[in-house]
Structure 1
């Protein structure tokens, strides 16, 4: 069991208040989520979750572990984002197709603010009321 993956999975279970919902969010089988949490509890030597047929509750040890996991995962994400190759800011060419009315009323009034927030993004807007394949229309853009 990879501890980092187990920590992320455990946080998802606590946040979702459910093994089934966490499994759905993570795209994992429910049995895998349940097994990993049991392995985590065995490895830590502590019961993290109190399970009944109707309810899932977090124990005191589970709450402490959850808070530490959240802190460590946030620190790790911040550390990784500090490297130039792992920038959290989107960059590159972004081509979007939409109906003209959506572009005119919703997108264009806010486009300046959006581009200021994401200066490394090159935005290509294609507005038309025709149904088109914008990828095939201009594969060089």
Structure 2
């Protein structure tokens, strides 16, 4: 038995809570994962996991073993990195997760520059507005919008997302121009956006001279993905608030019209986030620094 490999497999089972998910994340057959755990338990002569047909739980001995094994594996990875040229030439497979608009409008158009700078990094980019679990999904880092509530993660702020109030010209022709946020509750409709994880509706927010309004505006369509939200607003299905860097090309082309210009929404912070046990990874550090540099060059993503 390769004890180090067995420890890595055991750690992934604990982190994902499943033999199947651990096997998928490690690109191993499920049978191999099972045999590795059995061999490890035989070696240490204690039961590390309780297994039923529905779930996997960690025994008290298994929890203690996992805590020390995780530290050891992290130290081994750091040692390997320090004894090679990995810091100077980052390499390997990097798994990231990014929201739809950020991916399609910011990252992917610029990614060739990253590849030229770091030709030995293979990038796996998950694109969705769903918030992933970095540990369970075995993701190296993510770009997230909004405050980070999980204190176990490392977060670096790389910018802010300002918003603009918009509607399509076709919508204005049919429903007129709202003159106050409360008008949206009366003779107007909006396109709403809701969380793909919690299904909670994101409210519209308007601020002016210390006044804060969240109108309860009627809607006929709500979506959980930012590109679909943009298409719906362009189709004239309702007024809404859009991230400025997304809306600006359509405003410049006359496909969208700014409404309620005196009312603003507080910009949301953007973070690049990664697990603390990967903070010394050369490939993660390379992507974090490159992303921060990319966002710093975009005037609509930085506070004045």
Q: 1:51 to 1:82 in 2, by over 3 A?
A: same
User: Distance between the aligned counterparts of 1:69 and 1:62, measured in 2?
Assistant: 10
1:121 to 107, 112, 117: 117
Query: Residue deviations 1:39-98, cap 9 Å, x none?
Result: 11011000000111112100011001111111001001111111242327538xxxxxxx
Counterpart residue number, 2:66: 66
Gaps of 5+ in 1: 92-101, 124-141
Counterpart residue number, 2:8: 8
Query: Which secondary structure state, in structure 2, belongs to the residue aligned with residue 86 of structure 1?
Result: coil
User: Distance between the aligned counterparts of 2:73 and 2:89, measured in 1?
Assistant: 19
Alpha-carbon RMSD: 3.0
Q: Is the 8 A contact 2:47 2:59 kept in 1?
A: yes
Map residues 1-141 of structure 1 onto 2, 5 A cutoff.
1-87=1-87, 90=90, 106=106, 121=117
1:106 CA displacement: 2.1
Which structure has greater strand proportion?
Answer: 2
User: Distance between the aligned counterparts of 1:122 and 1:33, measured in 2?
Assistant: 32
User: Distance between the aligned counterparts of 1:48 and 1:90, measured in 2?
Assistant: 35
Q: 1:122 to 1:21 in 2, by over 3 A?
A: closer
Query: Residue deviations 1:29-48, cap 9 Å, x none?
Result: 11111111011101100000
Q: Is the 8 A contact 1:81 1:88 kept in 2?
A: no
Query: Which secondary structure state, in structure 2, belongs to the residue aligned with residue 7 of structure 1?
Result: helix
Q: Which runs of 4+ in 1 moved over 4 A?
A: none
Gaps of 5+ in 2: 92-101, 120-304
User: Higher relative CO (CA 8 A, sep ≥ 6), structure 1 or 2?
Assistant: 2
Which structure has greater helix proportion?
Answer: 1
Query: Which secondary structure state, in structure 1, belongs to the residue aligned with residue 90 of structure 2?
Result: coil
Q: Is the 8 A contact 1:90 1:121 kept in 2?
A: no
User: Distance between the aligned counterparts of 1:76 and 1:58, measured in 2?
Assistant: 24
